[in-house]
């Protein structure tokens, strides 16, 4: 190992590796080392880093290239580092500089296959790094370096390595170790650069997008200005609109608070869009707009009578409402700033009786705006109370939207099909309607989207429903119930003549002198072609007949006037769809005709009973029920059979053993679910008829709940059931005695056409309903 003695120069902020050419500023110590090297060491000296805790162990032998001054006039020298040496002990030498021993270093692994492979890997990494900086001249220099040790020492120029990294390289004599270390550092640097480049690219792309959007918006504003279109309103425009609008004080404060948020928000912020939408909804609501009610009771009644036939209960209720409003206005008792005098009515009845169209007539009679809210199938509670503004696409509820659409705070709002409201995991809309339809609460109704009080106390709510059973009891308790039970045959003729036929003539482009429909034809259509409580099917059949008439008038040799009569009705409508079947169905023992109420109105219900002699050893005395019956109806059948078995002698059944067989009770139309207790007396009658072997009278219908002791209890839907009995051609109907007050609601023409018999004892009812025995040998009922 060769040893030389050289003056040493320690550098504070610079680590010099072999192969580097560096300028250094000359202070007093550096000047002494340079002068000594030039005079006594053939222009060579040892350069090493100055360490805080110790003397450096390694340095480089450097030659002095040039001595001069920097651009600022400071003395400086340019040094070229040549080789790495290990620093030994200090020695005495000429001049004022410090002399040390420099021991040459030999690396036996400097030129092995492993080192050459490491050098190739490191060179590719260095070139990749330089390509990112577009340093193509430096790349050429690196490509010309073939010595692995010199390639490793080029890291002294790497800007991503600090002095500590370079000192570590200086103190690593092994080329293999230096290359391995450098490969790891360079890979880490490349990964960091890639991440930084990606972040910088994303930031640059976002800035370019923002700049592009800004430019496009400026161009869009310029285009709108040229076209004369309005520009989007700014926060100041909203403040002006809110201050000028006639808003309640609490609403004004809330709106101004949101305007303040809008002024502080950026135009590109999503929050500003939500605030603008909310302010638009608030400003569109007619907070101080109300229509003036018409207080002319006679004129209002005339409007209702002109639009609808019958429906006296609803008409009377609306007229009473108007009369009270007019009287309060005359006496200066109108409510100001508190609860208004709105109304909440529930119109319940079968389809086609005019519930929905009645809402428009009520609005015309009151002189109010009309808006319809369809509730059928609504399952989301937010549909009524609105969504929270935190949701994307949030909207106010249907009630608020209805008020906005009406343009006044006291419209007539028709809540259509309120019995079809459902509930699921999104909430129960009917529960949200409790506040809307409560006159004691709806003057401070709060929508989730608005979050301000909305006064609904002046709104007239009309809710329509087909059945009461599906309406929750708390909701039903908040509404005034008005039943629309259907039309009699005479009502249908009057409606067809006064309303439906003129409408269909106009739709078919016909004059009244071109096609004439006789009253007999209308009566036959209502009786034999339709079996409904309303008039929708009647209107469809009239439209069908008029279409046939138009076709005939268009043909050659057609008469100038066509007359549709009972004689040629089949040519227009085909054969009748319904014929009286009670006589045929009850011609055998064990069949009785009951009356029921469904969502489609009243209907007749045939109940059949039979006794089956089961095989030997089978279960005797059992009961089989078919016809898709509900639990209550099944219990009624059990009660009826128990009563007939217990009172067989009283009922005149000579052979009670027939009731010990397997009894089968069937209610036809098995595809339709049936339930309720009102078929109790009908089941008792059918079982007794089967046991006696005598049929039930074909003109008799009955309804009523029965007890184990034979008492007949009251039921509901008396009017609808009597209307169904009239449509079915029944002339005698048995009703519970306690339902006698309900007959006041039945039209007089129905009561005159049907013999209504009131009963309290089912045995007496059965005695009158079953055909008497014709011979002395037949069983007769006990007196």
* Residue found under tokens 């809540």: 415
If DSSP states are collapsed to H, E and C, what string results for 458-493? CCEEEEEECCCCCCCHHHHHCCEEEECCCCCHHHHH
pLDDT score recorded for residue 734: 92
| Core vs surface per residue 194-219: b (16+ CB within 10 A) or e | eeeeeeeeeeeeeeeeeeeeeeeeee
Q: Is 656 annotated as a binding residue?
A: no
Residue 678 a catalytic site member: yes
Choosing from 123, 369, 492, 721, the catalytic residue is 721
Contact criterion met (CB below 8 Å) for 154 and 126: yes
Q: Is 355 annotated as a binding residue?
A: yes
Cα 278 versus chain centre, distance: 19
Per-residue pLDDT of 714-743, as tens digits, reads 988 888 888 888 888 888 999 999 988 888
Q: Beta-strand (E) ranges in 174-257?
A: none
Torsion, CA 432, CA 436, CA 437, CA 442, rounded to 10 = 140
Q: Is 352 annotated as a binding residue?
A: yes
In 555-630, where does DSSP find H-type helix?
569-573, 582-585
Element at 612 (helix H, strand E): strand 601-612
HSE-CB at 603 with a 13 A cutoff on CA atoms is 16
Residue 737 a catalytic site member: no
Contact criterion met (CB below 8 Å) for 782 and 761: no
> How far is 498 from 308, CA to CA, in rounded Å?
10
Tokens (6 digits) for 383? 């549909």
Q: Is 356 annotated as a binding residue?
A: yes
> How far is 451 from 471, CA to CA, in rounded Å?
28
Q: Is 393 annotated as a binding residue?
A: no
Q: Beta-strand (E) ranges in 403-467?
A: 412-416, 445-446, 453-454, 460-465
Choosing from 678, 689, 698, 759, the catalytic residue is 678
CA nearest to 537, candidates 546, 548, 547, 525: 525
> How far is 70 from 27, CA to CA, in rounded Å?
13
CA angle 652, 655, 658 (to 5 degrees): 115
Residue 321: partners with Cβ closer than 8 Å, 6 or more residues away: 343, 460
CA nearest to 171, candidates 60, 44, 25: 60
> How far is 667 from 112, CA to CA, in rounded Å?
104
CA nearest to 462, candidates 318, 252, 613: 318
Q: What is the largest CA-CA distance in the chain?
A: 164
Contact criterion met (CB below 8 Å) for 452 and 333: no
Tokens (6 digits) for 618? 């089978």
In 352-397, where does DSSP find H-type helix?
355-366, 382-385
Cα 387 versus chain centre, distance: 10
Strands 58-69 and 343-348, sheet pairing: unpaired
CA nearest to 47, candidates 92, 91, 77, 2: 77
Residue 379: partners with Cβ closer than 8 Å, 6 or more residues away: 421, 422, 423, 424, 426, 429
Element at 610 (helix H, strand E): strand 601-612
**Spans of the chain below 50 pLDDT:** 336-338, 616-617, 774-783
HSE-CB at 620 with a 13 A cutoff on CA atoms is 10
Contact criterion met (CB below 8 Å) for 344 and 437: yes
How many C-beta neighbours within 10 Å does residue 302 have?
A: 12
pLDDT score recorded for residue 524: 84
HSE-CB at 437 with a 13 A cutoff on CA atoms is 26
Per-residue pLDDT of 16-47, as tens digits, reads 999 889 999 888 888 888 888 888 878 899 99
How far does the chain reach from its first CA to its final CA, in angstroms? Answer: 146
Q: Is 533 annotated as a binding residue?
A: no
> How far is 270 from 273, CA to CA, in rounded Å?
5
603 strand-pairing partners: 596
Contact criterion met (CB below 8 Å) for 564 and 515: yes
Taken in order 522, 527, 531, 532, the sign of the CA dihedral is positive
In 700-761, where does DSSP find H-type helix?
718-727, 748-753
Cα 82 versus chain centre, distance: 80
> How far is 177 from 28, CA to CA, in rounded Å?
37
Contact criterion met (CB below 8 Å) for 50 and 9: no
φ, ψ of residue 538 to 5 degrees: the values are: -60, -40
């Amino acid at each position: 190992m060769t040893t030389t003695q050289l003056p040493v120069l320690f550098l504070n902020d610079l680590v010099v590796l072999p192969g580097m050419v560096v300028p250094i500023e000359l202070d007093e110590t550096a000047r002494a080392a340079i002068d000594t090297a030039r005079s006594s060491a053939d222009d060579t000296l040892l350069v090493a880093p100055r360490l805080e805790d110790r003397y450096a162990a390694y340095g480089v032998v450097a030659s002095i290239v040039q001595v001069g001054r920097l651009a600022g006039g400071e003395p400086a020298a340019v040094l070229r580092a040549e080789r790495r040496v290990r620093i030994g002990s200090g020695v005495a030498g000429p001049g004022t500089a410090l002399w040390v021993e420099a021991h040459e270093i030999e690396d036996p692994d400097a030129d092995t296959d492993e080192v050459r492979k490491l050098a190739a890997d490191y060179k590719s990494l260095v070139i990749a790094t330089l390509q990112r900086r577009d340093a193509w001249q430096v790349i050429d220099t690196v490509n010309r370096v073939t010595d692995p040790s010199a390639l490793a020492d080029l890291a002294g120029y790497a800007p991503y390595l600090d002095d500590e990294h370079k000192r570590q390289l200086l103190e690593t004599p092994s080329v293999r170790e230096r290359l391995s270390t450098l490969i790891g550092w360079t890979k880490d640097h490349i990964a960091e650069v890639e991440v930084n480049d990606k972040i910088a690219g994303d930031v640059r792309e976002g800035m370019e997008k923002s700049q592009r959007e800004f430019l496009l918006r400026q161009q869009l504003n310029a285009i709108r200005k040229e076209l004369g279109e309005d520009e989007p309103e700014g926060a100041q425009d909203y403040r002006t609109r809110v201050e000028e609008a006639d808003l309640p004080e609490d609403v004004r404060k809330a709106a101004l608070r949101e305007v303040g948020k809008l002024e502080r928000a950026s135009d590109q912020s999503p929050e500003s869009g939500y605030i603008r939408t909310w302010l638009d909804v608030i400003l569109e609501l007619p907070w101080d707009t109300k229509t003036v009610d018409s207080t002319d009771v006679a004129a209002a009644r005339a409007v209702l009578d002109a639009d609808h036939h019958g429906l006296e209960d609803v008409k009377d209720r609306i007229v009473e409402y108007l009369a009270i409003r007019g009287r309060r206005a005359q006496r200066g008792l109108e409510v100001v700033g508190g609860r208004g005098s709105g109304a909440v009515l529930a119109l319940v009845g079968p389809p086609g009786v005019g519930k929905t169209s009645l809402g428009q007539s009520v609005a015309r009679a009151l002189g109010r705006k009309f808006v319809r809210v369809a509730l059928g199938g609504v399952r989301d509670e937010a549909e009524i109370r609105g969504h929270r503004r935190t949701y994307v696409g949030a909207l106010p509820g249907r009630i608020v939207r209805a008020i906005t659409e009406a343009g006044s705070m006291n419209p007539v709002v028709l809540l259509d099909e309120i019995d079809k409201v459902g509930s699921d995991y999104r909430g129960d809309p009917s529960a949200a309607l409790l506040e809307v339809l409560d006159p004691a609460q709806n003057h401070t109704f709060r929508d989730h989207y608005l979050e301000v009080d909305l006064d609904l106390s002046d709104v007239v709510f009309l809710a329509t429903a087909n059945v009461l059973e599906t309406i929750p009891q708390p909701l039903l308790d908040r509404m005034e119930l008005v039943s629309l039970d259907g039309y009699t045959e005479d009502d249908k003729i009057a409606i067809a003549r006064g309303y439906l036929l003129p409408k269909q003539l106009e739709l078919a482009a016909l004059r009244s002198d071109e096609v004439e429909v006789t009253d007999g034809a209308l009566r036959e259509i209502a009786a034999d072609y339709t079996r409904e409580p309303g008039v929708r099917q009647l209107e469809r059949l009239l439209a069908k007949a008029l279409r046939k008439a138009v076709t005939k008038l268009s043909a050659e040799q057609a008469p100038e006037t066509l007359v549709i009569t009972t004689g040629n009705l089949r040519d227009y409508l085909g054969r009748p769809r319904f014929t009286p079947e009670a006589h045929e169905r009850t011609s055998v023992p064990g069949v009785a005709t009951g009356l029921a109420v469904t969502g489609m109105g009243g209907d007749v219900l045939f109940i059949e009973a039979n006794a089956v002699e089961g095989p030997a050893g089978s279960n005797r005395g059992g009961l089989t029920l078919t016809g898709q019956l509900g639990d209550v109806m099944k219990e009624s059948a059990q009660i009826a059979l128990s009563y007939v078995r217990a009172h067989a002698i009283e009922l005149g059944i000579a052979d009670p053993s027939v009731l010990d067989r397997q009894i089968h009770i069937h209610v036809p139309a098995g595809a339709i679910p049936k339930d309720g207790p009102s078929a109790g007396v009908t089941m008792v009658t059918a079982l007794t008829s089967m046991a006696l072997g005598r049929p039930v009278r074909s003109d008799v219908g009955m309804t009523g709940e029965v007890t184990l002791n034979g008492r007949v209890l009251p039921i509901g839907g008396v009017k609808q059931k009597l209307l169904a009995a009239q449509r079915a051609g029944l002339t005698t109907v048995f009703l519970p005695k306690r339902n006698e007050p309900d007959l006041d609601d039945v039209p007089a023409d129905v009561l005159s056409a049907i013999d209504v018999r009131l009963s309290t004892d089912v045995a007496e009812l059965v005695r009158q309903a079953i055909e008497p025995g014709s011979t002395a040998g037949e069983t007769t009922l006990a007196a």
